[in-house]
Amino acid sequence: MELAEKGVNMTIFWIVHAVTLGLFGIELLFLLTVWLKARVPGVPARAAWWRKVFPAIGYVLKVVFSHRLWPMLRAFFVDGLLQRRLWQKSRRRWTTHIMVFGSFLILGILSTITGVVVEFLPLLGMSHEAAASIPVIGPLFHADVWWVALVNELLGLALLVGMALVLYRRFVKKDPQLRVNPIDNRIVFLLTAIAISGILTEAFRLLANYTTPSGVFAPAPEMLPHEKLPAVLYPMWGPQWGFVGYGLAWLLGQLQLSPEVWLAALYVMFWLHFVIVSALLFYFPFSRFAHVLLGPIVVSYNSMLDHEKRRHRGDGGAPAASGRSSPQVPAAAGRGTE
Amino acid sequence: MTKTYKKVNLAHFTLRQMMEMEACTRCGECIAACPTYAEAQSEEIHPLNKIARIKDFWKAGHLGFLARLFGLHPPSKEELEAFSKGVYRCTLCARCHEVCPVQIDTRALWIAMREQLVSWKLYPELFNMLRDRVTTQYNISGDDNANRLVWTQNMEHVPEGLDRKQGAETVYFAGCVGSMYPRVYGVPQSLAQILERAGESFTTLGGEEWCCGFPLEIAGMGSEVLAMARHNVESVRALGAKRVVTTCPSCYHTWAHEYPHLLGKPLGFEVLHATEMVAGLIERGKIELHPVEQKVTYHDPCDLGRTSGIYDAPRRILQAIPGIQFTEMADNRAMSLCCGGGGDAEMADPELTAAVSKRRIQQAQESGATIVVSACQQCVRTLGEAARKNRIRMKAMDVNEVVWQSMNN
pLDDT in tens, chain B (409 residues): 444 557 999 999 999 999 999 999 999 999 999 999 999 999 999 999 999 999 999 999 999 888 888 888 889 999 999 999 999 999 999 999 999 999 999 999 999 999 999 999 999 999 999 999 999 999 999 999 999 999 999 999 999 999 999 999 999 999 999 999 999 999 999 999 999 999 999 999 999 999 999 999 999 999 889 999 999 999 999 999 999 999 999 999 999 999 999 999 999 999 999 999 999 999 999 999 999 999 999 999 999 999 999 999 999 999 999 999 999 999 999 999 999 999 999 999 999 999 999 999 999 999 999 999 999 999 999 999 999 999 999 999 999 999 999 999 8
Measured between beta carbons, which residues in chain A are less than 8 angstroms from residue B48? 179
CB contact under 8 Å between A313 and B17, yes or no, is: no
Beta bridge partners of B327: B297
CB contact under 8 Å between A89 and B99, yes or no, is: yes
Measured between beta carbons, which residues in chain B are less than 8 angstroms from residue A295? 23, 25, 101-102
Give the type of residue at A98.
I
Measured between beta carbons, which residues in chain B are less than 8 angstroms from residue A312? 309
CB contact under 8 Å between B14 and A328, yes or no, is: no
What was the pLDDT predicted at B71?
83
CB contact under 8 Å between A318 and B334, yes or no, is: yes
Measured between beta carbons, which residues in chain B are less than 8 angstroms from residue A309? 309
For residue B311, give the nearest of A34, A316, A334 by CB distance. A316
CA distance B124 to chain A (A): 26
Task: Give the residue from A170, A308, A329 with the most B CB atoms within 10 Å of its CB, the best one to mutate.
Answer: A329
Measured between beta carbons, which residues in chain B are less than 8 angstroms from residue A178? 28
- Is residue A234 a contact partner of residue A221, using CB atoms and an 8 Å limit? yes
- Categorise residue B163: left if φ over 0, alpha if ψ from -120 to 50, beta otherwise: beta
CB contact under 8 Å between B26 and A337, yes or no, is: no
For residue A39, give the nearest of B11, B23, B71 by CB distance. B11
Task: Give the residue from A26, A29, A36, A39 with the most B CB atoms within 10 Å of its CB, the best one to mutate.
Answer: A39
Q: How many helices (H) and strands (E) does chain A have?
A: 12, 0
What was the pLDDT predicted at A123?
78
Rounded distance between C-alpha atoms, residue A108 and residue A203, angstroms: 20
What was the pLDDT predicted at A316?
55
What was the pLDDT predicted at A338?
24
CB contact under 8 Å between A329 and B24, yes or no, is: no
CB contact under 8 Å between A320 and B28, yes or no, is: no
Quick one: closest CA in A to B21, which residue? A291
Q: What are the DSSP calls for A129-195, one per residue?
A: HHHHHSTTTGGGG-TTBHHHHHHHHHHHHHHHHHHHHHHIIIIII--TT----HHHHHHHHHHHHHH
CB contact under 8 Å between B306 and A83, yes or no, is: no
Measured between beta carbons, which residues in chain B are less than 8 angstroms from residue A187? none
Sheet holding B395-398, edge to edge: B325-327, B295-299, B371-374, B395-398
- Is residue B237 a contact partner of residue B268, using CB atoms and an 8 Å limit? yes
Quick one: closest CA in A to B330, which residue? A322
For residue A179, give the nearest of B48, B105, B306 by CB distance. B48
- CA of residue A18 relative to chain centroid, distance: 18
pTM score, two decimals? 0.89
* pLDDT (tens digit per residue) in A156-173: 999 999 999 999 999 999
CB contact under 8 Å between B70 and A183, yes or no, is: yes
Closest by alpha carbon to B131, among B347, B338, B339, B352?
A: B347
- For chain A, the distance separating the N- and C-terminal CA atoms, rounded to the nearest angstrom, is 71
Residue ranges in B220-273 assigned as alpha helix (H): 225-239, 249-253, 259-263
Measured between beta carbons, which residues in chain A are less than 8 angstroms from residue B43? 179
Measured between beta carbons, which residues in chain B are less than 8 angstroms from residue A89? 29, 99, 101
Quick one: closest CA in B to A327, which residue? B319
- CA of residue B57 relative to chain centroid, distance: 29
CA distance B44 to chain A (A): 12
Measured between beta carbons, which residues in chain B are less than 8 angstroms from residue A26? none
CA distance B105 to chain A (A): 8
Rounded distance between C-alpha atoms, residue B290 and residue B404, angstroms: 10
CB contact under 8 Å between B49 and A179, yes or no, is: yes
Rounded distance between C-alpha atoms, residue B22 and residue A297, angstroms: 11
Residue ranges in B8-139 assigned as alpha helix (H): 15-23, 29-33, 35-40, 47-62, 65-69, 77-88, 95-99, 106-119, 126-132
Quick one: closest CA in A to B276, which residue? A335
For residue B102, give the nearest of A295, A317, A331 by CB distance. A295
Quick one: closest CA in A to B328, which residue? A322
Q: Measured between alpha carbons, how far is residue B384 from residues A113, A254, A281, B221, B396 in Å? A: 65, 78, 55, 29, 5
CB contact under 8 Å between B313 and A337, yes or no, is: yes
Measured between beta carbons, which residues in chain A are less than 8 angstroms from residue B368? 323
CA distance B399 to chain A (A): 16
Cα atoms found within 13 Å of the Cα of residue B302, Cβ hemisphere only: 21
ipTM of model: 0.89
Quick one: closest CA in B to A289, which residue? B25
Taking 50 as the pLDDT cut, the residues of chain A under it are 1, 4, 7, 323-338
- How many CB pairs lie under 8 A apart between chains A and B? 191
Measured between beta carbons, which residues in chain A are less than 8 angstroms from residue B311? 315-317
CA distance B258 to chain A (A): 15
For residue A319, give the nearest of B24, B272, B332 by CB distance. B332
**Angle at A213 (CA atoms; ends A211, A214), nearest 5 degrees:** 95
Quick one: closest CA in A to B30, which residue? A177
For residue A39, give the nearest of B13, B283, B331 by CB distance. B13
